[in-house]
Chains A and B, each alone.
Chain A
């Protein structure tokens, strides 16, 4: 496929289809409505494709569960309040070890919040947000190309590890239009489909369930899940570093915030301020080791989020008390301009320099 100018939602939808996703269950919620709308037209063209607008986000995630249980690649999408509704289903699928791709085009919250883009679902994405001892892989795209690439990768990851995968986008990324290349991918051979329900022909019946009557059984299962999450932590961390080679201060930001940060860095570097960017591309597993490594030569970290501060906790955990953490956040759906961030960063930078001189 050639490069096309596509919106974020179209890129997500088309990338999913090229990755072999034939089933989409969703529900309208701003700012991701263009995605179910796109899928409703596009899936008709795919043999065996099914688009269904469910009665709620709750219905949609459970339909995902059903289609996943029979071995299909299936996706749902929503925005923050709707993702809250899906938490029960996501927790169940983590416990059932069923693959699924869930796209969150996040907006301001809590509650109905604002329809403008925010990054206040970091906790929801990386700390549950449903109940029980589980994790979901969280991918954080920062461009329309990454929306496409990470959506496609999400299906492979979900299937390989038999776990729900969250693609955490926001309203800016979903609405913007950028040139993007979406290649049709040969579907990677699935790790194992032994769970797939096909009708018990010529074999004992299979049951997919997350309930275990005996707490020792549940404990065994919990440790099994933890071992899986450990493997994911060892293998799937992804992070970009930008202008970090000589950096004396590191901005830590993801998604749209990282793009704003890159704009701020341009100005900062013009003025010879040695600031770089650490851009996590997986929020879980978080690039803890990389940040730890960088903290050996960089003392000041400025965490920038379009929220009241959530990822900052993971940065603090990674630093284990070393270094100095600064924070700048704009919650509620407000998108700061690069020049605003540039002023904040340079202020912190000069203050840090003065402290060092003392």
Chain B
């Protein structure tokens, strides 16, 4: 028998520190697999956000710079403007990209910066203990919305991919999930497509991943996957939100 599945090379051998059933682990692996398959490691630079994945430099085996919280899109802009031939991707959670980083992300997208943003949406602030995020659903209980998010106080779940899709500078935005085999396969294809758009310089590309967070959702791992199917997807529909010709 021959080996048909193993650890990608673009990941260091460190065991992940993420919780059981966390989507970060799967997403890291998918990105690393695409980097391996397309032979991109030698010319890839990552701009890393702050969250549970703040130590992702222990995992991604590519050159990497840690950005201040929210600023990964601006740091990626500086990197890509200085090194236009490199593949540059940012990796951020929902707070990093769509709360504190809203201005940096929005304007990088508006300028059509030629890097790819990976947006890990788990509807909560994971690392800091489960506080409300802009992407938290109405009624969802978090440590700073203990009675459930109410729109009168905290507004509505932010569909940032749809917002960015309206900007001329964005060329490819897709929302995927990592809660089932079919979705994970789609997610990997979306990563491949995003890098292709970057290489063809069509504009700003982004993949939003609906990602399970069993710990802060106070659910089991399989229930978290179901919650994405039954509840989260209704608010954040999966699929291609925008795609320019490549």
Instruction: Please give the residue numbers on chain A whose beta carbons come within 8 Å of chain B beta carbons, in ascending order.
Output: 23, 25, 50, 52, 54-56, 58-60, 62-70, 72, 74, 88-89, 92, 96, 197-202, 204-211, 213
Contacts and interface: CB of A to CB of B under 8 A. Distances in A.
A197 B63 contact: yes
Contact of B47 (A54, A58, A59, A66): A66
Contacts of A207: 57, 63-66
Given A66-B47, A70-B79, A207-B57, A197 B64 contact: yes
Nearest to A72: B82
B81 A65 contact: no
Contact of A58 (B54, B55, B57, B103): B103
The list of the 10 closest CB pairs from A to B, nearest first, reads A66-B78, A207-B57, A62-B74, A209-B66, A63-B78, A201-B42, A55-B107, A197-B63, A66-B79, A62-B71
B66 A63 contact: no
Interface string B46-63: 011010001101001111
Given A62-B74, A65-B65, A56 B82 contact: no
Contacts of B170: none
B188 interface: no
A199 B41 CA distance: 7
A75 B4 CA distance: 49
B78 A74 contact: yes
The A contact surface, by secondary structure, is mixed
19 contacts: A52-B81, A54-B107, A55-B107, A58-B104, A62-B67, A62-B75, A65-B75, A66-B79, A67-B78, A67-B81, A70-B82, A72-B82, A74-B82, A200-B63, A202-B42, A205-B41, A207-B63, A207-B64, A207-B66
A124 B7 CA distance: 49
A45 B101 CA distance: 33
A205 B61 contact: yes
Task: Please indicate which of the listed interface residues A67, A74, A199, A210 has the most CB atoms of chain B within 10 Å of its own CB.
Answer: A199
B198 to A, nearest CB: 14
A197 B88 CA distance: 11
B169 to A, nearest CB: 12
B164 interface: no
B50 to A, nearest CB: 8
Contact of B74 (A54, A70, A204): A54
B86 interface: yes
A56 B106 CA distance: 12
Nearest to B88: A66
B78 A208 contact: no
A72 B86 CA distance: 15
A209 B106 CA distance: 24
A199 B67 CA distance: 17
B107 A66 contact: no
Contact of B79 (A92, A197, A204): A197
Contact of A55 (B47, B75, B104): B104
Contacts of A64: 78
Interface in B72-107: 74-83, 86, 103-104, 106-107
Given A59-B104, A62-B71, A50 B63 contact: no
Contacts of B63: 197-200, 205-207
A11 to B, nearest CB: 25
Given A62-B104, A66-B74, A213-B55, A205 B64 contact: yes
Contacts of B83: 70, 199
Determine which residue in A66, A72, A74 has the highest number of CB atoms from chain B within 10 A of its CB, and name it: A66
A199 B54 contact: no
A89 B62 contact: no
B218 interface: no
B68 interface: yes
A66 B88 CA distance: 11
Interface in B198-236: none
Contact of A66 (B42, B50, B62, B75): B75
Given A23-B81, A58-B103, A211-B55, A63 B41 contact: no
B81 to A, nearest CB: 5
Contacts of B45: 70, 197, 199
Contact of B82 (A67, A204, A209, A211): A67
B13 interface: no
B177 to A, nearest CB: 29
